[in-house]
Amino acid sequence: MRKKIIAGNWKMNKTLEEGMGLVSELSNMLKDEYQGSAEVVIIPPFVHLNAVSKLIADNPRLASGAQNCSNHKSGAYTGEVSAGMIGSVGCKYVIIGHSERRQYFGEHNAWLAQKIDAVLTAGLNPIYCCGETLEERENNSHFEVLEKQISEGLFHLNDDQIKQVVVAYEPVWAIGTGKTASTAQAQEIHAFIRGLISKKYNEALAQEITIQYGGSVKAENAAELFAAPDIDGALVGGAALQSRSFVDIVKAMA
Ligand code: PEP
């Protein structure tokens, strides 16, 4: 069975004290309320990664991740953080190509392919984000856009490497807007992405890849999304900033 993963991306929110408080609450609530097997990933800002990773180290259900990394291994790149550094503080995942990175920081597919390589070289798992804008959906170019993001970002990888990747489908029009893709819309795209991977690699491999949905996921819509055959979890933004709403999303994963 494919691995189910619920990840909470804090973006640029929470002081260290607030973040540690949230992680402690999450950890206790999950212990009391969730017996399922989904992996829960906490993705705080870089400066909190070491402390968060230490706090969850003895909880096998929890993992930590970073929101971005450099495509370089080390050197004179002021302000950047390498995948190796992220791994050295105990993280397992790195988000690559979040739409906010694509939109505000000019990250494009070729650059993201290099970041994917950096993450894999460090022995970590990329969470590779893809998704169309509202304009692209309205002019019906979304399948083309997604195919380009997936093929240019990932299809240079070999079979063993692609198996380490988690894909997150995040329609840009649904991120932080309160507008969620319908389950039918999300399922259609998840099946499309799995089909692209099957065509490039093979069906058995495609069936192993975890594909998360992201875009205004809440406790109220999570169970229906998770019941769709190709939706293997969620990448959550706003609702991951409070323990109650995030734990309720995790509990929606049967
Ligand atoms: C995200 O940041 O990846 C995200 C999906 O945000 P939100 O849940 O707030 O839409």
Adjacent-strand bridge partners of 94: 66, 126
Q: What is the pLDDT of residues 130-178, one digit of tens each?
A: 999 999 999 999 999 999 999 999 999 999 999 999 999 999 999 888 8
Tell me if 176 CB under 6 Å of ligand 1: yes
Beta strand 5-9 pairing with 62-66: unpaired
Q: How many Å apart are CA 62 and CA 83, to the nearest integer?
A: 19
Residue to mutate (ligand 1; options 180, 235, 241, 248; most atoms within 8 A of CB): 235
| Domain spans in the chain, listed from the N-terminal domain onward | 5-252
- pLDDT reported for residue 176: 84
Going by alpha carbons, the residue nearest to atom 4 of ligand 1 is 237
Burial class (CB in 10 A: 0-12, 13-18, 19+), 117: middle
| CATH number of 5-252, picked from 3.20.20.140, 3.20.20.70, 3.40.50.920, 3.40.50.1370 | 3.20.20.70
- pLDDT reported for residue 180: 84
CA-derived radius of gyration, the chain: 17
Calculated CA dihedral for residues 218, 148, 117, 191, nearest 10 degrees: 50
Q: Which of 98, 100, 142, 190 is catalytic?
A: 98
Q: State the first-to-last Cα distance of the chain, in angstroms, to the nearest integer.
A: 13
Q: How many Å apart are CA 143 and CA 132, to the nearest integer?
A: 8
Q: Which residues of the chain have pLDDT under 70?
A: none
Taking the model in full, what pTM does it have? 0.97
- pLDDT reported for residue 177: 86
- pLDDT reported for residue 88: 98
- pLDDT reported for residue 130: 98
Q: Identity (one letter) of the amino acid at 249?
A: I
Q: Which of 39, 100, 136, 170 is catalytic?
A: 170
Those residues with Cβ within 8 angstroms of residue 95's Cβ, 6 or more apart along the chain or in another chain:
7, 9, 43, 65, 66, 67, 68, 126, 127, 129, 168, 235
Going by alpha carbons, the residue nearest to atom 6 of ligand 1 is 237
- pLDDT reported for residue 12: 98
Tell me if 86 CB under 6 Å of ligand 1: no
